[in-house]
Amino acid sequence: MKGRDLLSIDDLAPEELRSLLADARAVKSDPASFGDRLHGARVALIFEKPSTRTRVSFESAVVSMGGHAIVLRGDELQLGRGETIEDTGKVLSRYVDAIVIRTFGQDRLEALAQAAEVPVVNALSDQEHPCQALADLQTIIEHRGDPAGKVITYIGDGNNVAHSLMLGGVMLGAHVRVATPAEYEPVETVVMRCEQIARGTGGSIEVTHDPHRAADGATVLYTDVWASMGQEAEAEEKKKVFTDYRIDSAILARAASDAIVLHCLPAHRGEEISAEVIDGPQSVVWDEAENRMHAQKALLAQILAD
């Protein structure tokens, strides 16, 4: 992946995804072996949306591999005063070796990548969250082995996290089920792309409005907040619509007896997930959060290392 962008999980071929995940496991088991992979590299980390895990995990990843992280909020840049995203990309390309950005529309991300002369990584857009999916898949492999043939069930809003999980899951040959309320389904073009990928990998994609059936026999149960960043005004209405789309003990009981539970965090206990589940023995969300750093180390090393 030397010199390449990662704007979507779909930018990867299945074998490239498996290579990244293998490197993520390697760096987690032996961090010292990646200790100088980014020697002297400068990585701009731009956050136009709030961040905890993404910011700290990327900054830690860069620094621990011998690079220099330059963290910038959107309101600290001339972007906040009307400079175009394209001009920002052109200028930053003269100063840094890569740009990681958390932004809004996928078109904005693509415009930055088109103008920049250095690799651009999507740290979250309204369309996708590919770095989260890398950590999710790493966690699944750690706890339940190869996802091929296994059922990964996502319950909740058909959002950016769902899109990347769907794409990554079918790339690895998993059977991905997504249960959402009507009118909150994943984007149809993403579903269609998952169907296309699945035909070549042996996986499958299913979108349903029945969370109970989606959970039946699942190896993995996954959820996210009902109202994503920028949707705060919709939060109260979504609480009413999504009442039946909560991962609780009843839903967990329908999954496989050894099922694991994932959540990309931050979590709202009592809304999309119950406290007894996220804090229970089948929850691996803290490993999942840690794996953000390891997966992103692997990604940056492949993109930037000589």
- CA–CA distance, 85 with 80 (Å, rounded to integer): 10
Identify whether 196 is a catalytic site residue.
no
Edge-to-edge strand order for the sheet containing 42-47? 68-73, 42-47, 98-102, 120-122
Which amino acid is present at 296?
Q
**Does 102 participate in catalysis according to the annotation?**
yes
Please tell me the distance from the alpha carbon of residue 261 to that of residue 144, in angstroms, as a whole number. 11
Q: Which of 163, 177, 292, 294 is catalytic?
A: 292
Instruction: Find the catalytic residue in 55, 129, 175, 263.
Output: 129
Q: Is 199 designated active site? A: no
Active site residue 136: no
Q: Which residue out of 102, 163, 175, 294 is catalytically annotated?
A: 102
Q: How is residue 35 written in tokens? A: 């200790």
Note if 37 is an active site residue. Answer: no
Given 37, 131, 132, 246, the catalytic residue: 132
Instruction: Assess whether 282 carries a catalytic annotation.
Output: no
Place of tokens 């959970």: 215
Which residues are the active-site residues? 102, 129, 132, 224, 264, 292
